[in-house]
């Protein structure tokens, strides 16, 4: 079973549809029930909208223990806010402490570089991902493939060893981050056509090792 | 490497059927929105917008069904517009599988709705559709916001309105020139450029595309982040790959 953690934000239907498409034989559950996270073999941590609300809901639903178990033991895929939440801190919503699974900060695009001054935010659309390291989730996906992004805040991982993909929007930011059984992407694989489905397909077969 | 400029086909849907005639060489049913969306997806469209032009509210549920079917087969962003007036209209479309909704008239009559919608669902899924028409010509041109298919001037200045919608949390603007819509004489790029430079959010240019050069001009002259087209694709005059090729040749970053 693959459980998509439902924090009541944004469109999880797309993630569900895409996983059902690539893994028709597996049970896909969209749930905010901790038991469904405990029972899952793989967990997807998605998210859209504001990270402050994301963490509020996360705490209200008391999912910390179940998610901690998944973080330690299961292949886990973070998407968008699900990726940002894995860093130490995010500037959004007056500043939010993250899960601290990866060293680094999440900041607004405009905070970065003078070159970013006239950037449109959100970054909305297709951009290329530079695969900085090989990973089982990149299997069958050429380097510099286009993925669909929608976000105004972006992460910059501090340890190069954690970075699996970078994308340029005003500056290079961390588009994919990973460590052991964790992999997280800023883009939306569920909206990234063939390449996105390939990544999700890789995830449904991933044993959580690199 | 940079963010690609997007090409977005727009489909008008009436009671669950694509209208305005969509023509693909080997399509079985030109009026089927699912099949049409699938074809545009295969051609490499970057997103698809459905505009529900259904008159009766009874048929609104049909649109949600259409979205659900498309979303289970097409894995690129889907936007749905037409008849989005309340938060429940937005939930219904997002739950069906839409990624964004486009709000037009309801924003004009109740601007606070845009604030509510973006606070509730996040700016990323709120597109504000703006219908503008030039009202002053000459050295200081002005454009106004029109409703009722361009017949009724609201007295609101288009540039001011776009700024306000951005401030209220819109994630993107879909700007249609009512002067150019349906004329196939090209976008109103003076309007597009002024709006694009006035707001920090992405701009989708719409209204007037007649050939592939118009798409290039929308990006180069109109500073649009995305270009919307209906008839040049629907009638089979041009395909999405041809459009992308032309844009790439003009030095525009596109997803090929």
Can you tell me the distance from the alpha carbon of B95 to that of B106, in angstroms, rounded to the nearest whole number?
A: 20
In contact, A81 and A139? CB cutoff 8 Å:
no
Residues A18 and B75 sit within 8 Å (Cβ to Cβ): yes
Q: Do B1 and A167 touch (CB under 8 A)?
A: yes
B45: Cβ–Cβ under 8 A, 6 or more apart, which residues?
Answer: B7, B8, B9, B76, B240
Tell me the average pLDDT across B106-132: 94
The pLDDT value given to residue A167? 98
Beta bridge partners of A149: A125
Residues B243/B40, Cβ–Cβ less than 8 Å: no
Answer whether residue B24 shows pLDDT above 70.
no
Cross-strand pairs, A87: A102
Instruction: Give, for B204, the enclosing helix (H) or strand (E).
Output: strand B203-206
**Which residues of chain B lie closer than 8 angstroms to A144, CB-CB?**
1
What would the pLDDT profile of A28-38 be if each residue is shown by its tens digit? Answer: 999 999 999 99
Bridge partners of residue B146, in order along the sequence: B153
CB contact under 8 A, A127 and B99: no
Which of B2, B94, B123 has the CB atom closest to A168's CB atom? Answer: B2
Q: Considering only residues B228 and B25, tell me which one the structure prediction assigns the higher pLDDT.
A: B228
What pLDDT, on a 0 to 100 scale, did the predictor assign at position B45? 97
C-alpha triplet B244, B248, B249: angle, nearest 5°: 120
pLDDT at site B230: 86
Q: Which residue has the higher pLDDT, A195 or A53?
A: A195
Q: Is the pLDDT of residue A116 over 60?
A: no
Token pair 């460590």 is found at A179
Mean pLDDT of A58-76: 92
Q: Pairing between strand B142-147 and B126-136? A: antiparallel
* Chain A residues close to B95, C-beta within 8 Å: 11, 13
Catalytic residue among B46, B131, B181, B225: B131
Evaluate whether B244 touches B229 at the Cβ level (below 8 Å): no
Chain A contact for B219 (CB, 8 A cutoff): no
Show residues of chain B in contact with A196, CB under 8 Å: 75
Distance, CA of B174 to CA of B114 (rounded, Å):
14
Instruction: Give the C-alpha separation, B162 to B201, whole Å.
Output: 10
Nearest by Cα to B177 from B139, B224, B124, B213? B224
The whole-angstrom separation of Cα B210 and Cα B217 is 12
Using an 8 Å Cβ cutoff, are A177 and A131 in contact?
Answer: no
| Coil, strand or helix at B50 | strand
Judged on CB neighbours under 10 Å (0-12, 13-18, 19+), B165 is buried
> What's the mean pLDDT when you consider all of chain B?
92
Tell me how close the Cα of A140 comes to any Cα of chain B, in angstroms: 18
Q: What is the pLDDT of residue A56?
A: 87
Q: Is B248 on the interface with A (CB under 8 A)?
A: no
Average pLDDT of span A156-183: 97
The catalytic site residues of A sit at: 80, 188, 190
| C-alpha separations of A153 from A51, A109, A146, A190, B174 in Å | 10, 6, 19, 20, 23
Condensed to tens digits (0 to 9), the pLDDT of residues B86-98 reads 999 999 999 899 9
Q: Is B1 on the interface with A (CB under 8 A)?
A: yes
- Contact (Cβ atoms closer than 8 angstroms) between residue A171 and residue A161: no
CB pairs under 8 A between A and B: 103
CB proximity under 8 Å: A 42-61 to B:
48-50
Cα(A117)–Cα(A114) distance, integer angstroms: 5
In chain A, what are the domains? 2-205 (3.40.50.880)
Do A122 and B99 count as a contact with CB atoms less than 8 A apart?
no
Which positions in chain A touch B46 (Cβ < 8 Å)?
125-126
Decide: residue A72, CB within 10 A, 0-12 exposed, 13-18 middle, 19+ buried. exposed
HSE-up (13 A, CA, CB side) for residue B145: 24
Whether cis (ω within 30° of 0) applies to the bond prior to A122 is: yes
Q: Checking phi first, is residue B236 left (phi over 0); if not, alpha (psi -120 to 50) or beta?
A: left
Among A2-11, A33-42, B183-192, B195-204, the range scoring the smallest mean pLDDT is: A2-11
Cβ B77 vs Cβ B47: under 8 Å: yes
Categorize the per-residue pLDDT at B190 as very low, low, confident or very high, splitting at 50, 70 and 90: very high
Tell whether A10 is within 8 A of chain B (Cβ).
yes
Q: How far is CA B123 from CA A47, A111, B69, B90, B252, in A?
A: 13, 19, 25, 13, 27
- Taking the alpha carbons at both ends of chain B, their separation in whole angstroms is 13
ipTM above 0.85, yes or no: yes
Nearest-by-Cβ selection for B124 from A14, A48, A146: A48
Provide the mean pLDDT of chain A.
93
pLDDT at A203: 98
Render pLDDT for A128-146 as a digit per residue (tens, 0 to 9).
999 999 999 999 999 999 9
**Catalytic annotation on B29?**
no
Q: Give which of A128, A113, A135, A114 is closest to A175, Cα–Cα.
A: A128
């Amino acid at each position: 079973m693959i459980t998509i953690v439902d924090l009541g934000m944004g469109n999880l239907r797309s993630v569900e549809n895409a996983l059902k498409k690539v893994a028709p034989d597996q049970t896909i559950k969209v749930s905010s029930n901790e038991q469904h996270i405990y029972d899952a073999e793989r967990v997807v941590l998605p998210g859209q909208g504001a990270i402050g609300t994301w963490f509020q809901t996360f705490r209200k639903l008391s999912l910390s223990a179940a998610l901690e178990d998944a973080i330690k033991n299961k292949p886990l895929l973070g998407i968008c806010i699900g990726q940002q939440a894995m860093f130490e801190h995010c500037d959004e919503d007056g500043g939010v402490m993250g899960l601290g699974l990866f060293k680094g900060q999440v900041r607004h695009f405009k905070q970065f570089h003078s070159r970013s001054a006239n950037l449109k935010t959100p970054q909305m659309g297709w951009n290329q991902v530079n695969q900085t390291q090989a990973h089982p989730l990149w299997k069958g996906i050429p380097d510099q493939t286009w993925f669909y992004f929608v976000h105004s805040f972006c992460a910059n991982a501090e340890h190069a060893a954690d970075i699996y993909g970078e994308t340029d929007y005003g500056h290079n930011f961390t588009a994919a981050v990973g460590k052991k059984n964790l992999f997280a992407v800023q883009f939306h694989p569920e909206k990234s056509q063939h390449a996105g489905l390939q990544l999700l397909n890789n995830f449904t077969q991933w044993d959580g090792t690199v | 490497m940079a963010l690609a400029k997007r090409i977005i086909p727009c489909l008008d849907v009436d009671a669950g059927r694509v209208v305005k005639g969509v023509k693909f060489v080997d399509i079985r049913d030109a009026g089927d929105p699912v099949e049409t969306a699938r074809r545009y997806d295969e051609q490499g469209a970057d997103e698809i917008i459905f505009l529900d032009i259904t008159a009766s509210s009874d048929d609104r549920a049909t649109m949600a069904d259409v979205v659900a079917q498309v979303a289970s087969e097409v894995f690129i962003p889907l936007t749905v517009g037409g008849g989005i007036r309340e938060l429940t209209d937005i939930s219904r479309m997002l739950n069906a599988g839409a990624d964004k909704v486009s709000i037009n008239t309801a924003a004009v009559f109740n601007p606070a709705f845009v604030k509510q919608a973006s606070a509730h669902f996040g700016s990323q899924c709120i597109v504000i559709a703006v219908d503008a028409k030039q009202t002053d010509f000459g050295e200081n041109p002005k454009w106004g916001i029109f409703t009722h298919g361009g017949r009724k001037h609201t007295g609101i200045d288009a540039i001011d309105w776009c700024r306000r919608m951005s401030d209220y949390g819109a994630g993107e603007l879909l700007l249609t020139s009512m002067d150019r819509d349906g004329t196939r004489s090209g976008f109103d790029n003076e309007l597009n450029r002024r709006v694009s430079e006035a707001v920090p959010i992405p701009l989708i240019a719409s209204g007037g595309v007649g050939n592939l050069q118009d798409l290039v001009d929308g990006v180069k002259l109109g500073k649009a982040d995305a270009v919307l087209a209906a008839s040049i694709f629907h009638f089979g005059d041009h395909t999405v790959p041809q459009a992308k090729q032309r844009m790439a040749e003009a030095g525009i970053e596109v997803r090929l």
